[in-house]
Structure 1
Amino acid sequence: MYNLLRVEFFKLRKNRSFWSLLFALSVLSLAYPLLYYFDHRSSGVPQITGAEFLTTFISSNSYIIKFGVAILAGIFISNEYSTGVMKTIASSGNTRGRLFTAKLIVFSVGSMAISLVFPIVSTVEVTLLSGFGQLPVESTVLFIPRAFGLTLLYTAGYAAIGALFTVILVDSGKTIGFSMIFFLMIDTIMASLSSKVAFFATLYDFSIFKLVGNIGKPLIDSGDVPALLLVPLLTFVIAGTLGMLVFRRKEIK
């Protein structure tokens, strides 16, 4: 298993598309705060501080997570089907369960790296421009590590779902397209179903698709913490297990 992880991490480090994606997100993360900076400067409005920017836009990072997972799933996993790499490693002697697990772990780590670009790069830039300021009164000193920790946790949950799509759809383009549409539309679909069927309302309330919006809350009630932690973990385990089962039975051409 250790050698499989080393191989997958090596492929991730050498994947130019992955680094291009990180670079593109970094550029966007630098450009986005500048719009606010110059707009506030020209209108005489007080500049937004690093703390204010982080607490205001950390929840918006969920879109970066969704798009990042969708694109990385296509360029890192699905692309190996079209290049023939997947067929080669599937016949290497390692069990398919171990192969999928190694890919899922490394894919999740790559997705986590993508998920941190916007909050870190943007917050650092805004802090350099106008200072860090102070966190909201209702938040605690643990807000930043908690927000980043939950970001990583929920990204892993989304990554497991993305990995499941890769073994079902195989094709890189289909994986990226379907994943993006799914992640963007699932909230609307679940909200619509929730208004008609109580079961779907409960299901949606305890899904990563809704709970991911709580990452940026300045204060989280202690009673909500268990669900906030367990839901992404269970999503990772369940989606990862389903992906492994499909991969074991998948005919790789």
Structure 2
Amino acid sequence: MYNLIAVELFKLRKNRSFWTLLIALTALSLAYPIMYYVDHQSSGEPQFTGAEFLVTFIASNAYAIKFGAAALAGFFISNEYATGVMKTIASSGNTRGRLYTAKLTGFAIGVMLVSLVFPIVSTVEVTLLSGFGHLPEGSSEWFIPRVLGLTLLYTAAFAAIGALFAVILTDSGKTIGVSMIFFLMIDIVLSGIGSKVEFFGKVYDYSIFKLIGEIGKPSIDRGDMPALLLVPLLTIAVCAMLGIVVFRRKDIK
């Protein structure tokens, strides 16, 4: 299993789409704070400190996570069907369950790296421009590790969904398109239906799509933490099992 994961990580390092995505997000992460810095400087408003910027804009990172999961699912997984790599892998003698698990692990690590670009690069840049400042009232010294840790966990959950779409659709264009539409519309659909049907409201409240907006709170009640941890873990487990089932039954040509 270790060798299979190592192969996937090697392919990830060699994947041009992955590096293009990282470079593009890094450029945006550098440009985004500069725009606020110049705007506040010209208007005389107080500048954001690094801590304030992280707290205020961590929710925006959800878009980078969704885009990264959709794009990499198409270019890193689905593209292997078109190039014939998936057929070669499937006939390598390893079980499809092990192959899918290794591929999901490598893919999730790639999306996790993408998810860290905005919060780390932007916060460091703002800190260099106007200082780090103070963490928000009510937060502890574990605020930053908690935010980054939950970011990685929720990113893995989105990656599991993206990988499932990839093995179902097999075409990179369809995977990217469907995944992006799903990730962008699911909040609107579930919240809209949930406002009229209580069951769907509960489903949305305890879904990664809603809870990802909670990870940047200055403080989280102990009673809320189990849900914040269990929901993404269950999402990963369920989507991984479904992906394995689909991959086992898939006729790879």
Q: Distance in 2 between the 1:130 and 1:151 partners?
A: 25
Q: Distance in 2 between the 1:217 and 1:6 partners?
A: 36
* Residue 32 (1) aligns with residue 32 (2): yes
**C-alpha deviation, 1:219, in angstroms:** 1.0
- Return the letter of the residue paired with 1:218: P
Q: Distance in 2 between the 1:236 and 1:121 partners?
A: 27
Q: Distance in 2 between the 1:224 and 1:170 partners?
A: 37
Q: What's the counterpart of residue 123 of structure 1?
A: 123
Q: What's the counterpart of residue 44 of structure 1?
A: 44
- Give me the CA root mean square deviation: 0.6
1:59 match: secondary structure: helix
- Return the letter of the residue paired with 1:30: L
**C-alpha deviation, 1:199, in angstroms:** 1.3
**C-alpha deviation, 1:6, in angstroms:** 1.1
**C-alpha deviation, 1:139, in angstroms:** 1.2
Q: Deviations over 1:99-122 (max 9, x none)?
A: 000000111100000000000000
- Return the letter of the residue paired with 2:251: E
Q: What's the counterpart of residue 150 of structure 1?
A: 150
TM-score (norm. length: structure 2):
0.99
Q: What's the counterpart of residue 251 of structure 2?
A: 251
Q: Distance in 2 between the 1:145 and 1:187 partners?
A: 27
Q: Distance in 1 between the 2:153 and 2:141 partners?
A: 20
Q: Distance in 2 between the 1:31 and 1:219 partners?
A: 29
1:150 match: secondary structure: helix
**C-alpha deviation, 1:62, in angstroms:** 0.6
Q: What's the counterpart of residue 210 of structure 1?
A: 210
Q: What's the counterpart of residue 167 of structure 1?
A: 167
Runs of 4+ deviating beyond 4 Å: none
Deviates more, 1:114-123 or 1:133-142: 133-142
**C-alpha deviation, 1:2, in angstroms:** 1.2
Q: What's the counterpart of residue 179 of structure 2?
A: 179
Q: Distance in 1 between the 2:193 and 2:45 partners?
A: 43
* Residue 240 (1) aligns with residue 240 (2): yes
Q: What's the counterpart of residue 133 of structure 1?
A: 133
Structure 1 unaligned runs (5+)? none
- Return the letter of the residue paired with 1:69: A
TM-score (norm. length: structure 1):
0.99
Q: Distance in 1 between the 2:46 and 2:193 partners?
A: 43
Q: Deviations over 1:82-104 (max 9, x none)?
A: 00000011011011000000000
Q: Deviations over 1:13-46 (max 9, x none)?
A: 1111101110000000000000001111111111
Q: What's the counterpart of residue 88 of structure 1?
A: 88
**C-alpha deviation, 1:124, in angstroms:** 0.2
Q: Distance in 1 between the 2:7 and 2:37 partners?
A: 43
- Return the letter of the residue paired with 1:217: K
**C-alpha deviation, 1:233, in angstroms:** 0.3
Q: Distance in 1 between the 2:233 and 2:161 partners?
A: 12
